[in-house]
Chain A
Amino acid sequence: MIARSYPPLGGALRHVPTTLLALLTLSACRAAQETPATGGSLVIGALAEPDLLVPPLTVTAQGQQVVDALFERLAEPVVDSTGRIVYRPAVASQWSWSRDSLTIDFTIDPRARWHDGQRVSAGDVAFTWRATVDSALAAPGAGAVSAIDSVVARDAQTVRFFFARRSPQQFDVAVRHLRILPAHALDSIPRAQWRSSDFARRPVGSGRFRFARWDAGSRVEVVADSTHYRGRAQLDRVIWAVSADPSTAVRRLFAGEIDFLENVRPDAAAEFAAQPTVRLMRVPSLVYGFLQFNLDRGATGVFAEQGVRQAASMAIDRALVVRSVFDSLARVALGPVTRTQLAGDTLLPALPFDTLRANALLDSLGWRRATAEGTRQRNGRPLRFTTLVPSTSTPRQRIAVLLQQMLARVGIAMTIEQVEFNTLNARLAKGDFDAAVMAISADPSRDGIRGVWSSAAARSAGGVNFGNYRNAAFDALLDGARDALDPAEGARRYREAYAMILADAPAVWLYEPWGLSGVVRGVEPVGMQPEAWWAGLADWRRTAP
């Protein structure tokens, strides 16, 4: 009887799991209220598959994104809210300079581990530098670390970088272009074979994400390293899902198949307003668009003459071009440099929109109009040129149409030629063009201008200065700015260099677009950098499934 007046023990025990579950759920709910949500997956829309996953060899943006999730630098360069670049410890927990500023000692964080469990050592850092500059590897970024004289592991935890000469870029060179590689996994592979090695498709890194899988042509997946010494990534996994083309990627974003899409085209931006589950993010970018003149076209060219270039610049209402084509999704370009690089210094002396001055200048140069509406001529030769436009870029085609009309008002006849993208690149490289509507993504540093507009970057020297703009005084100003140890002096010289190239007008700098990314609501991107939106990927959060 007594036994029957109480519930049997087994019955009580049956309620224990339920009770525990309820308590755990309550506890989890309370925790969720107190701390940000973690976990979940993020699917990133990629328009191409990564090329390979070895840091010094990866060249595609998609490959770079995956590599940056898997591998670490000694320190992470970050642009702060004032536009300055600051460095946060990563593999190196601290560093110190020698008295002569020609060496830097980095101390490796003793907690740093490779994803296979081995410790990250100073030897790995020295190995990474040796591999990067090895001609057998033929790493595309080898030139970027040429200022480093040598790298030596002093002990298991300390590595020393030697430089031949002092420069303000020393530290940046040491950390920005070297993602540390595991010597124990790669040392046995001949460097000429790294590209085709198994490691290139199944790498072992030390980052906050570890490699999970790569389905060829479809997706790449990384998962959070739950024991990472810098803290577990907020997301459980990140997947790069390949889409065939931008339109398909946008549709997949709207359908909820992907969570984040970079480089949304301005023409697709308007569709986001009607999508309740998706939002469009506007972030600063390093891209600027311009009308490139070919200064080295020979007898048929009209842009060797500075006055013609200046007149063409002054004939173009850049503000109207930007408003008409991009609405609020771009700003008028300041010059061959973006606002991000200038860190707020936006008062460069650009040539004004002034058709009266443009007409007067062309008249003074002997380019005359037979009729009020006609094309100018000099010695029987018309002021006429052809502009190349990539057939894949609708905004640039619309820009070309506007430029055509604006230039016609001052008597310059412009013909538009739409060309397929690869053909455009081939013709630019050969110098087979008069002008081209271009866009370029700049290097984030102020000295990034050197790689695009200096004589060293001229087309004739194999560079991307396709218009072959060469100005020794401009080059000298850039050299002086780069080598100035006083930051204020460096900034002053860069400013002089910018002013010089703006007056020289080897191009008409047209627009500086905002970077546009589509993201589903509930995903919180953080730490986006102008040159790498994925820089803070490990700290992105999902607040909704």
Chain B
Amino acid sequence: MRAALAVWLVLAVVLVGADWLAPHDPRQILDAEHLRSVSPSWRHPLGTDPSARDVLSRLLVGTRASLFLAIGAVSLATAIGVGIGTCAAAVGGMVDRVLMRVTDIGLALPRVLVLLTLVALWNVRSLSALVVAVGATGWMATSRLVREELRARLAEERVLAARAVGVPLARVMTRHLLPAIGPLLLVTMTGALAQVLLLEAGLSVIGLGVQPPDASWGTVLHDVSEVVGRARWLALGPGAVIVITVLATQRIGDLVHHALVTPSTPVLPIAS
């Protein structure tokens, strides 16, 4: 737990102070002829990429783009998923069926393929647009989870009793049921965050992430990928950062799950 939190603490520091921490200008081609793909040294602790840019500097500054994309997209996906799941559970009937079929279709479509199509159709390029695209293609599992949880809780006797004495459904939902599934959503979000970090790396490898010369973890990995056969050390830095962050995030998710989402979780009393 401490290690996982420490990782996120470091990330927070980097997020704020990347510009000061980076030893070189991350966009600067230092020497296009002599500093291409050089191995780690005191001057370049993670080496340089094939375009002769300092890998450590790009990795530090790239943290901002990667985390902005990951946190933004996951937040958006969660908001959409909660909205659709709540609507389906609360209204039920035809609305529920339609929303769940739409969700099923969304789950059946390969996400990367959908993203490729979105990029091709609407020329999604800016980081903000990418956040929207990734977020809009990642809400389906959350909506299904929320719908199932809420439907189960709506059938509980205490909820039925509250409704019987005139407590409005909206109040039951917003004041009691949604807060009750908050820990579960938190766990889902940590898992999704790890997924989006990996997705960002994947999108960058196929050239759809952050556009050059800007950096993200994925683009740094992409930039060194062409020489990874003969300069393996260059992939170690960005690869390790992504793996450690994903592991730390998932560890935090596990711990949240064990701490909050257990059978002993106290049921909140429903008051009118």
A272 vs chain B, min Cβ distance (A): 10
From 242 to 273 in chain A, residues with beta carbon under 8 angstroms from any chain B beta carbon are 267-268, 270-271
Identify which of B33, B51, B119, B125 contacts A420 (C-beta below 8 A): B119
Complex: A509 Cα to B255 Cα, angstroms: 58
Known contacts A270-B227, A271-B229; is A401 also within 8 Å of B29 by CB? yes
Complex: A405 Cα to B29 Cα, angstroms: 8
Residues of the B chain whose Cβ atoms lie less than 8 Å from the Cβ of A58 = none
Q: Is A391 an interface residue (CB 8 A)?
A: yes
Beta-carbon contact of B116 and A420 below 8 Å = yes
Q: Is B174 an interface residue (CB 8 A)?
A: no
Identify which of A324, A415, A416 contacts B32 (C-beta below 8 A): A324
Q: Is A226 an interface residue (CB 8 A)?
A: no
Beta-carbon contact of B211 and A402 below 8 Å = no
Q: What 1/0 mask marks residues of chain B from 202 to 243 whose CB sits below 8 Å from any chain A CB?
A: 000011100111000000000001110110000000000000
Residues of the B chain whose Cβ atoms lie less than 8 Å from the Cβ of A223 = none
Complex: A349 Cα to B103 Cα, angstroms: 63
Which of chain A's residues has its CB closest to B214's CB?
A: A416
Complex: A398 Cα to B212 Cα, angstroms: 9
B238 vs chain A, min Cβ distance (A): 16
Beta-carbon contact of B52 and A418 below 8 Å = no
Q: Is A397 an interface residue (CB 8 A)?
A: yes
Complex: A422 Cα to B120 Cα, angstroms: 9
Q: Is A392 an interface residue (CB 8 A)?
A: yes
Please count the residue pairs between chain A and chain B whose beta carbons lie under 8 angstroms apart in the complex.
Answer: 63
Beta-carbon contact of B51 and A270 below 8 Å = no
Complex: A267 Cα to B230 Cα, angstroms: 10
- Mostly, the A contact residues are helix
Beta-carbon contact of A320 and B33 below 8 Å = yes
Complex: A394 Cα to B225 Cα, angstroms: 9
Known contacts A270-B229, A271-B230, A391-B208; is A402 also within 8 Å of B29 by CB? yes
From 393 to 421 in chain A, residues with beta carbon under 8 angstroms from any chain B beta carbon are 394, 397-398, 400-402, 404-405, 415-420
Q: How large is the interface on B (under 10, 10 to 19, 20 to 34, 35 or more residues)?
A: 20 to 34
Beta-carbon contact of B226 and A394 below 8 Å = yes
Known contacts A270-B230, A392-B207, A397-B207; is A416 also within 8 Å of B212 by CB? yes
B208 vs chain A, min Cβ distance (A): 7
Residues of the B chain whose Cβ atoms lie less than 8 Å from the Cβ of A397 = 207, 212
Q: Is B191 an interface residue (CB 8 A)?
A: no
Residues of the B chain whose Cβ atoms lie less than 8 Å from the Cβ of A267 = 226-227
Known contacts A324-B33, A391-B207, A418-B207; is A401 also within 8 Å of B212 by CB? yes
Q: Is B36 an interface residue (CB 8 A)?
A: yes
Q: How many residues belonging to A are interface residues under a CB distance threshold of 8 Å?
A: 28
Residues of the A chain whose Cβ atoms lie less than 8 Å from the Cβ of B207 = 389-392, 397, 418-420
Q: Is B135 an interface residue (CB 8 A)?
A: no
Q: Is A323 an interface residue (CB 8 A)?
A: yes
Q: What 1/0 mask marks residues of chain A from 320 to 349 whose CB sits below 8 Å from any chain B CB?
A: 110110000000000000000000000000
From 168 to 204 in chain B, residues with beta carbon under 8 angstroms from any chain A beta carbon are none
Beta-carbon contact of A324 and B52 below 8 Å = yes
Beta-carbon contact of A417 and B213 below 8 Å = no
Complex: A423 Cα to B118 Cα, angstroms: 12
Beta-carbon contact of A398 and B120 below 8 Å = no
Beta-carbon contact of B213 and A398 below 8 Å = no
A389 vs chain B, min Cβ distance (A): 8
Complex: A321 Cα to B29 Cα, angstroms: 12
Identify which of B51, B119, B227, B229 contacts A401 (C-beta below 8 A): B51
A263 vs chain B, min Cβ distance (A): 16
Q: Is B62 an interface residue (CB 8 A)?
A: no
Complex: A324 Cα to B50 Cα, angstroms: 8
Complex: A419 Cα to B207 Cα, angstroms: 7
A431 vs chain B, min Cβ distance (A): 15
Residues of the A chain whose Cβ atoms lie less than 8 Å from the Cβ of B120 = 420, 422-423
Complex: A392 Cα to B207 Cα, angstroms: 7
Residues of the A chain whose Cβ atoms lie less than 8 Å from the Cβ of B29 = 401-402, 405
Q: What 1/0 mask marks residues of chain B from 25 to 56 whose CB sits below 8 Å from any chain A CB?
A: 00011001100100000000000001110000
Complex: A405 Cα to B213 Cα, angstroms: 9
Complex: A224 Cα to B15 Cα, angstroms: 66
Complex: A394 Cα to B119 Cα, angstroms: 19
Beta-carbon contact of A418 and B51 below 8 Å = no
Q: Enumerate 9 A-B pairs (CB-CB under 8 Å) in ascending A order.
A: A324-B32, A390-B207, A415-B211, A416-B213, A417-B125, A418-B211, A420-B206, A423-B119, A423-B120
User: 5 tightest A-B contacts by CB?
Assistant: A391-B207, A267-B226, A418-B207, A324-B32, A394-B226
